[in-house]
Amino acid sequence: MRKIILLFLTIISFKLIAQEVNIIPQPAKLEVNSKELPFKIDSTTVIYTNDSLANPSIAFLQNYLSKNYNFQLKINRIPDIGRTKVINLIMNEKIVNQKEYTLKVTNKSIIIGATSDTAIFQGIQTLIQLLPTSKSTVLNIPAVEITDYPRFAYRGMHLDVSRHFFDVPFVKQYIDYLALHKMNYFHWHLTDDHGWRIEIKKYPKLTEIGAWRNGSIIGLWPGKGNENIKYQVLPTAVKITPKDAVLQTDGIKHGGFYTQQQIKEVVDYAAKRYITIIPEIEMPAHSMALLAAYPELGTAPNTKYEVAETWGMMNKYNNVLQASDTTFKFLENVLTEVMDLFPSPYIHIGGDEASKIWWKQSAVSQEIMKANGLKNESELQSYFIRRMEKFVNSKGKTIIGWNEILQGGLAPNAVVMSWQGEKGGIDAAKQQHKVIMTPEIKMYFNHAQFVKEDSLTANKFSPLIDVYNYEPIPGELTAEQAKYIWGGQGCLWSEYITNPAKVQYQLFPRLDALSEILWSPKEKRNYPDFQKRLKTQFKRYDLMGITYSKRYLEN
């Protein structure tokens, strides 16, 4: 009788477990077998696998188990479907879609099948979400059958390390966060007005000078005490002094950069998580750090430039690069070193927020326009982007640019990242260019999550529900045009994000919402159900020591 009672209690207990299968992003197909007892992972469980297929997946799983449960599993390099207490990672030739995986859990075994190592890795991420959210030496995994694959090919997340620098260990941790959410592109914003973060051996002053600024504004832009300042465009030849540029700042020196060896280390780390890193080298605007190091490349002669200390695009300070042969040669040399470091087929060259006033005031710029038959400064911007695209294409790579690269005519092969709403993306898709949707009001995670925030953020509002309900394919596109929406991306700009805990706070749980937008079938999305699943995800974040807003737990 006692055995019967224990069995009954076990079954009841498992039914409770089965009801708590909460996976983000939601799989394409999920069935929970409530009649099956759970599979138990403990220190005697063995992983059976093909060596060439699953090494990165095994390493990721082992690292997760070690960090969060303090044990690792034994490994056998030959799959054995007949054994019990095993996790099999196998090639399943019946699966046609290279991006698809299947995951089957019984009380005897776990089987993850796919026809690509990338899909096996995504299956591991789902398995991790079936693990308990508290420490234990025995991990009960509910019996499920899952068939899963991504909706969009591009699932990206961005990190700005120019406004505030984040070291290599944290960048790796950030990449792990993306992997856990089945993201496959990391957009690394390496240069801007406020700091140049990548070593370029041919031009050492980029990091000797450009990687450091002498302070940051106090409070919300334009900074404490500067609220009523009106920024005016100055004459071409004006000398900008530190006093003019600094305004009200904290006077604390800030900076840092990644050596080329560190870049290689991070690229390799991401590759083992099936994440492609897209580096961004900003041009022709957002270049004050570059101009501080090499002022001869700007449009204002005899000007001393400073690495920017205040946020925002102010025409008074934010000069642009001159569209000269000297500048193009410089940038080609920079991009050559960058492309040697990043195997990504894509290079982001910025192209946003270029104030045309600087070219308008520059006699050299006007001569360049006349020599090339350009009617206005927008066409000069297009000329600039096309010149750089031709070079990047010659190296077998493709450029990505913010939607302003549409101004004056879109470069022939460019991918458009639409941030100023959807219009740029819609126009590009209609011109049969690949598009990444990242409209600011929905996809910028540096914005406030709540009307009254816990700490300083950008003065805009992007609540979780708005992120979750965003649809990357605009309704006005035809089915054929919609094929050019490659995917979407979240962006995390770091003006008001100074440390890893604040990154986590701004990222979670909006990254969860983003992952479901980009991975799950559209018809599977349901915000109330997502909120329910988030409760389990928050427990997992507690286990992992991740910072997020506890205010979400109040709902």
Q: Retrieve residue 115's tokens.
A: 């026809």
Q: Retrieve residue 59's tokens.
A: 């390493």
Spatial distance between the Cα atoms of 146 and 30, rounded to a whole number of angstroms:
5
Spatial distance between the Cα atoms of 456 and 220, rounded to a whole number of angstroms:
7
404's CB contacts (< 8 A; 6+ apart) are 351, 352, 353, 354, 381, 420, 424
Q: Contact 293/210 with Cβ under 8 angstroms? A: yes
Spatial distance between the Cα atoms of 522 and 517, rounded to a whole number of angstroms:
7
Instruction: Name residue 139's beta-bridge partners.
Output: 41
Q: Retrieve residue 253's tokens.
A: 């020196």
Other C-beta atoms lying within 10 Å of the C-beta of residue 265? 15
Query: Which residue among 265, 332, 353, 379 is the active-site one?
Result: 353
Q: What 3-state DSSP class applies to 491?
A: strand
Query: Which ranges of 210-361 would DSSP assign to H, the alpha helix?
Result: 242-246, 260-271, 288-293, 325-341, 357-361
Three-state SS for 340-360 is HHCCCCEEEEECCCCCCHHHH
Checking DSSP bridges between strand 109-114 and strand 185-189, what pairing results, if any? unpaired
Active-site residue 353, yes or no?
Answer: yes
Checking DSSP bridges between strand 212-213 and strand 254-255, what pairing results, if any? antiparallel
What residues are labeled active site? 353
